[in-house]
Amino acid sequence: MRADGSDGVPERVVVVGAGIVGLSTAWFLQEHGTEVTVLDREGVAAGSSWGNAGYLSPGLSVPLPEPAVLRYGLRSLLDRDAPLYVPPAIDPGLWSFLVKFARRCTQRTWDRSMRSFVPMNSDCLEAFDALTAGGVRATTTRAPITAAFEKGAQVSDLRREVDHIRQSGQELDVTEMSPAEAGIPQLSSRIEAVLRLEEQRYVDPGEFVRALARSVEERGGEIRGGFTAEEVRRSEGRVIVRSEEGEHVSAEALVVATGSWLGRLAGPLGVRTRVQAGRGYSFTVPTEHPVPGPIYLPTVRVACTPYQGGLRVAGTMEFREADAPLDRRRIEAVVRSARPLLDGVSWQDRHDEWVGPRPVTPDGLPLIGGSNTPGVFIAVGHGMWGLTLGPLTGQLLTEQIVSGKRPDALRPFDPLR
């Protein structure tokens, strides 16, 4: 028996959210013969699924609250150029979130949370392979992620994190080498040390999500923009979602995959965990030489990826309202921090400047599973790892929807915790 009290695979499911998580859930539901309708406030990949760095990196998919982040965050509060930015405005909800986040920045809590990520990280790339083998016409590129450091001593922090990841039970192949051995022409002469994470991948995130949407539509699914979910309720054995404009859509089951816009739906669905927008910025720049693979600059929290013949540069964790306008000062801060570490980059010719809200939870764990309303499921709160974990989230949540049984891998991510 399923969570909505009925037997068998639901004939129709509505998914609210047309990002990587929502569309992956829709696609895997279609594998079971379910009719799907995907609703979004704007359209396909309109949020964080477009402008992120494009890393498919189980090696970096870790809980955000950890001791180094807390130390770094405290030093950053008064520095407008710091990658972590908290506006000085009085927002009781935000400061309550930050206090809860800070309390979880202990090594013991991080280790426990990391063990929750291990099963997801172990299988996440196979979920991408299932999509591309099943007709999603997009590619994932295998490449190491090269972490570059201005000072050799700075490698110790990432090396320590790698040790803790391995102690949690996750395999991670890491190679230390000189900058010359890395073979990346963009690394400047100021780079003294390199640590390379092997067996990772990257994608053009916008193109991948658009290809996923096309596949959902080709298989009979409907995708509609301009629908902002205002209310979800159950009536006469069906789930009904109402838009701000008063439109109603119903189905046997519903998946809420709205990212940072969970908002007013949270309380009525029994979700007590605040989902805070941690906004990231990105832009694209031309490069003098082709970029052979992803570059990570840990000390300034900047991720760079080969993108459409140039380099996508992404950084910043800005805790502001999800729909606040782009703050050009954050773009300029990313440029100032990355410029000394990269050569052959035309910073003045940057384009595709973007900001998007990553959904962050105080404990760093996503919310995936059933709500307190039968037939309503939630899949939000992946933080910076929504792209990496999105397809597997959709695959596992589909398993729960069609069988009524929660997969073991999803137990730590109960939305009602």
Q: Which residues pair with 279 in a beta bridge?
A: 318, 357
**CA dist., res. 216 & res. 29, Å (int):** 10
Q: What is the mean pLDDT of residues 164-191?
A: 97
The string of DSSP letters for 196-234 reads EE-S-EE--HHHHHHHHHHHHHHTT-EEE-S--EEEEEE
Whether residue 51 contacts residue 384, with contact meaning beta carbons closer than 8 Å, is answered with no
Assess whether pLDDT exceeds 70 at residue 2: no
Two tokens at 279?
């906004």
Domain 12-48+207-274+364-413 has CATH 3.30.1330.10: no
User: pTM of whole model > 0.85?
Assistant: yes
Instruction: Quote the pLDDT of residue 192.
Output: 98
Whether residue 358 contacts residue 316, with contact meaning beta carbons closer than 8 Å, is answered with no
Beta strands in 101-218 (DSSP E): 141-142, 145-149, 174-177, 193-197, 201-202
How are beta strands 84-85 and 201-202 bridged, if at all? unpaired
Question: Which of 97 and 88 is assigned the larger pLDDT?
Answer: 97
Instruction: Quote the pLDDT of residue 77.
Output: 58
pLDDT interval class at 74 (50, 70, 90): low
Instruction: Quote the pLDDT of residue 91.
Output: 84
pLDDT interval class at 1 (50, 70, 90): very low
CA dihedral 221, 222, 228, 231 (to 10 degrees): -60
Assess whether pLDDT exceeds 60 at residue 101: yes
Number of Cβ within 10 Å of residue 260's Cβ equals: 22
For the chain, the structural domain boundaries read 12-48+207-274+364-413, 63-114+142-201+275-360
Asked which of 75-84, 178-187, 349-358 is least confident by mean pLDDT, the reply is 75-84
Question: What pLDDT digit, counting tens, does each position of 121-151 carry?
Answer: 999 999 999 999 999 999 999 999 999 999 9
Domain 63-114+142-201+275-360 has CATH 3.40.50.720: no
Question: What pLDDT digit, counting tens, does each position of 220-264 carry?
Answer: 999 999 999 999 999 999 999 999 999 999 999 999 999 999 999
pLDDT interval class at 73 (50, 70, 90): low
Instruction: Quote the pLDDT of residue 203.
Output: 98
Instruction: Quote the pLDDT of residue 67.
Output: 83
pLDDT interval class at 87 (50, 70, 90): confident
**CA dist., res. 97 & res. 65, Å (int):** 12
pLDDT interval class at 71 (50, 70, 90): low
Q: What is the mean pLDDT of residues 306-329?
A: 95
Q: What is the mean pLDDT of residues 87-112?
A: 90
3-state secondary structure 258-315: CHHHCHHHCHHHCCCCCCEEEEEEEEEECECCCCCCCEEEHHHCEEEEEECCEEEEEE
**CA dist., res. 249 & res. 247, Å (int):** 7
